[in-house]
Structures are given as C-alpha cells and as structure tokens.
Amino acid sequence: MGVSANAVTVAGFVLTVAGAGFLAAGHPLRAVVALFFGTLADTLDGQIAKAAGGGTKLGAFLDSTFDRLSDSALTGAALVYGAYNNDAVVFWLALTALVTGSLIPYIRAKAESLGISASIGLAPREARLVLLVIGVAAWAVTANSQLFAAALAVVAFLSTVTTVQRIAHVVRVLHNT
C-alpha cells in the first residue's frame, strides 16, 4: 500500500505518546483510543517489514528504540498522573514499572553482548503493554481509576519478577562459565 514499516513504527510511537499525554491528563477514554491505534501500529510494523521482504537494520533499530520510548512514555504518564493527583499508590507503582520495564530490555541486550541469551521471564513486553491498555480501558469504561491502578500493580509486579528472573539467569550462566 506504499506505507513503509518505518513510517508505521513512527506513527505508532506518535499515537502512543499522544495516548500517554491523555493518560497523564486524566482522560482515559482519549488515552485508550490513541493507545489502541498506537499498539496496533506497533504490532503491524514487523508484519509490514516481513511482507516487504524482510526488515532493515535501520528498521530494527527504530522499532527497538521507539518501543522503549513508547513504554517509558506510557509508564511515565502514569507516574505524572499519580503525582498530580496525589495518588501515591499509582505514583510508586508507575515508578516501579518504569524502572523495571527499562531494565528488562537492557538486561537482555547486555547479556546478548556477552554471548548469553536472556529472552526469558514471566512477562514479555507485549503482555505488559496489553495489561496497561486494558487497565486504561477499564478506567475509561467505569470512570474508576483504581482499575487502572490494579493493572499497573500487576505490571509492576510482573516487571519486577521478569527483571529478577533475567538477572538470576545471566548470573547463573556467567557463574558456570
């Protein structure tokens, strides 16, 4: 259709950042609409690259980089929402999800640079993202932000477990070599 995978990657990022802005401002319905389309674009960019004969190094770099930025924008928006609404629970859950969510791909990349596969863990990125979007959708439908807080709690917990799993795996492999 004349749309490149890289264009879809960038569009997905822009939509996710817009959704994050709506989330930070406490507009869950607008947020979930933008996040739905941003997440859809994030899913389709790889499919488009494959259909076009395979991806490029630039495409892989952009996809990975914008995935990290999108994830940080979303959890950062939850952090901002918690701070501005004096919701300490959302603030600390979002901070936990932000830090551990950033560590998960870093640990994998560092392990791979050492020749170790570290694509393990309880909650891959896609699962964490879907849980957050479901939480925003539940908030939008019910007008109860505590449903979003519950989804954020699950994501923070799963991200922490996944981080610990990856660290333990890499330490175990390095200790045995």
Q: Structure pTM?
A: 0.93
The residue from 45, 63, 67, 71 that is catalytic is: 67
pLDDT interval class at 48 (50, 70, 90): confident
**What's the CATH code of the domain at 75?**
1.20.120.1760
How many C-beta atoms surround the C-beta of residue 124 within 10 A? 13
Q: At what angle do helices 88-113 and 145-175 cross, to 10 degrees?
A: 30
SS3 117: coil
For this structure, is 67 an active site residue?
yes
Q: Which domain holds residue 88?
A: 5-175
- DSSP letter at 114? T
- Three-state SS string over 19-57 comes to HHHHHHCCCHHHHHHHHHHHHHHHHHHHHHHHHCCCCCH
Alpha carbons within 13 angstroms on the beta-carbon side of residue 163 total 17
Domain count, the chain: 1
What pLDDT digit, counting tens, does each position of 121-150 carry?
999 999 999 999 999 999 999 999 999 999
- What pLDDT digit, counting tens, does each position of 152-171 carry? 999 999 999 999 999 999 99
